Amino acid sequence: MEFAQAMKTFGLIDCNSFYVSCEKIFNPYLRDKACVVLSNNDGAVVARDAASKKLGIKMGQPFFEIKDFVNNGQVIPCSSNYALYQDISNRVVKVIKSYVPAYEIYSIDECFVDLTGIKESQLNSLCKEIQHRIYKDVGMPVGIGVGRTKTLAKLNNWASKNWKDKTNGVVVLLDMERQNKLLKYSDVNEVWGIGSRTTEKLKYLNISKAFHLADFDKKTLRKHFNVNVERTARELQGTVCFSLSEGPEPKKNIASTRMFGERIKDLDLLRQAVATYAARAGVKLRKEGQLTSCLQVFIQTSRFDSLPYSRTAMIALEAPTDDTRELIAAAQAGLSEIFRPGFAYAKAGILLSQFIDKSGYVSDLFAKPERRNTEKLMNLIDYVNRTQGSGTIRFAAEPECSAWGMKREFLSPAYTTKWSDLLKVRTT
């Protein structure tokens, strides 16, 4: 007996104005205000809400250009609070995975879900239930798009937000006749994976709408662009070319870099910064379940200085490791090679590469013996810092408070990840 394979159904759940919405969850004062979130060192706008968009504030706009709005009280700025944003993202995903058998975290504010097998008549009510539950449990508003492919789900999600008043943030389109109506309306640059450069090239082929791309000859698309553009066009026709990933691919490198809040001339302060970045990179490395064989450390002045200086040192580690102590030692050795006095350094960073899967690693018989209980110690440090707040346990080379840290004048509390910042409720 043969069974017909069920047609695939994908959904995309996308948080609305994610960074700004995270700030508004815990600060009722911001609810009815125009609000933006700023980049590292409060340099530029990286997130906006609907009210700030209406004021004409653009993504990536330098902060100094919107200071009149801030000084007049029209816009409330917030410094980036990444610990808060990641925790809220984790809470959203926790709700999502309680409803679906398979999901793919696409970014901090987006998640693809597999809805295959659910009756079309039930999809809309299910999506509204998920949307309501996320808002009730987490306080995060989301839009949901559902389609036969990931590309269509992404486009339908865009429609859910573009016509929020009519759709209530949920668009389910499985009938291709109805789906094509949206394709004919949507500009091609709204299609997932079609960037500005590709959009400009597509214009020469008279492709300006998503429907034009879906209907175009696929061999010609592959010839003039690449296989991914061809697959995207097929996905717009309802053919699944991009499957739901079971998990993200292991990273090929891990970076930890920051611009300094203030210029650094002193070597000891640079050592503190480099040690801090090496420790952060170590945490990321252990999350990936990888060991690194190579560490790079770099320092640089501003490129606008009259005599700019930038150098990188590459350190080959004696044995693959995820031990923060080894990473800090290698970073300090590299820094000693490239530091030159007399410069005002604006940025430093660490890059880990040449990874080996930890689960399959067999140590070299002739290598230097590993430190005792390394894995237990690193796991303990990560656990304490994850549950009690970042920096609860740190190495001596890492400062408790840094004079060179990022400038974040509008930083909100770590409402969910630091005991001292938990909201207090008074009862009378």
Neighbour count for residue 206 (Cβ, 10 Å): 9
227-236 and 150-162 helices, crossing angle to 10°: 60
Q: Is residue 125 part of a domain?
A: yes
Q: How far is CA 369 from CA 294, 338, 357, 373, 376, in A?
A: 18, 29, 19, 12, 16
Amino acid at 139: G
Same domain, 222 and 198: yes
Are both 70 and 90 inside the same structural domain? no
Residue 114 phi, psi (nearest 5): -95, 115
67 and 133 co-located in one domain: no
> What count of other Cβ atoms lies within 10 Å of the Cβ of residue 300?
20
Across the strands, what pairs with 107?
A: 110
Q: Is residue 415 part of a domain?
A: no
User: What is the torsion angle, in degrees rounded to the nearest 10, for the CA atoms of residue 334, residue 329, residue 279 and residue 288?
Assistant: 90
Same domain, 102 and 145: yes
144 domain-assigned: yes
Phi, psi of 3 (to 5 degrees): -115, 135
Neighbours of 53 (CB within 10 A): 14
Domain boundary among 29, 62, 81: 81
Confirm whether 399 is domain-assigned.
no
Give the pLDDT of residue 113: 95
The strand ranges marked E within 265-375 are: 290-300, 310-321, 345-357
Rg of the chain on CA atoms, in Å: 25
Query: 201: how many CB neighbours lie within 10 A of its CB?
Result: 13
Q: Strand 75-79 to strand 34-38: parallel, antiparallel, or no bridges (unpaired)?
A: parallel
CATH label of the domain that carries residue 332:
3.30.1490.100
Residue 420 domain-assigned (yes or no): no
Residues 281 and 342 in one domain: yes
Describe the strand order of the beta sheet including 75-79 as a list of residue ranges.
Answer: 45-48, 34-38, 75-79
**272, 395 contact by CB (below 8 A):** no
What is residue 369's DSSP assignment?
A: P
The count of domains in the chain is 3
Q: Mark which of 206, 236, 266 sits at the end of a domain.
A: 236
For residue 37, which of 51, 19, 25 has the smallest C-alpha distance? 19
Assess whether 168 and 296 both reside in one domain. Answer: no
pTM equals 0.74
In the block, tokens 């291709």 appear at 176
Q: Say yes or no: 76 and 93 in one domain.
A: no
Distances (CA, A) of 352 to 159, 270, 291, 328, 356: 40, 19, 9, 12, 11
Q: Is residue 246 part of a domain?
A: no
258 and 293 share a domain? yes
Q: Tell the burial category of 150 from Cβ atoms under 10 Å away from its Cβ (0-12, 13-18, 19+).
A: buried
Domain boundary among 64, 81, 98: 81
Provide the residue range defining the domain that includes 378. Answer: 254-388
Q: Is 229 in the same domain as 95?
A: yes
What pLDDT was estimated at residue 98? Answer: 94
| Amino acid identity for residue 422 in this structure | L
Alpha carbon distance 207, 200 (integer Å): 9
Are the CB atoms for 250 and 357 separated by under 8 Å? yes
Strand order in the sheet with 110-114: 103-107, 110-114, 10-15, 142-147, 170-172
Residues 51 and 99 in one domain: no
Domain co-membership, 262 together with 224: no
Residue 426 lies in a domain: no
The whole-angstrom separation of Cα 89 and Cα 138 is 9
DSSP character at residue 237? T
Q: Is there a single domain that holds both residue 262 and residue 358?
A: yes
Locate the DSSP E strands across 358-428.
none
Residue 147 lies in a domain: yes
**Cα 363 from Cα 232, distance rounded (Å):** 44
Instruction: Kindly give the confidence (pLDDT) of every residue in the chain, 428 residues in length, as a single tens digit, with 9 standing for 90 and above.
Output: 343 356 899 999 999 999 999 999 999 889 889 999 998 788 889 999 999 999 999 999 999 999 999 999 999 999 988 888 989 999 999 999 999 989 998 888 999 999 998 888 899 999 999 999 999 999 999 999 999 999 999 999 999 998 988 899 999 999 999 999 999 999 999 999 898 889 999 998 899 999 999 999 888 888 888 888 999 999 999 999 988 874 445 668 898 888 887 889 999 999 999 999 999 999 999 988 999 999 999 999 988 888 899 999 999 998 899 999 999 999 999 999 999 999 999 999 999 999 988 887 777 655 566 777 888 999 999 998 887 777 788 999 988 777 666 677 888 888 887 777 888 877 76
Taking CA atoms, 57 is separated from 54, 67, 70, 189, in Å, by 7, 11, 12, 21
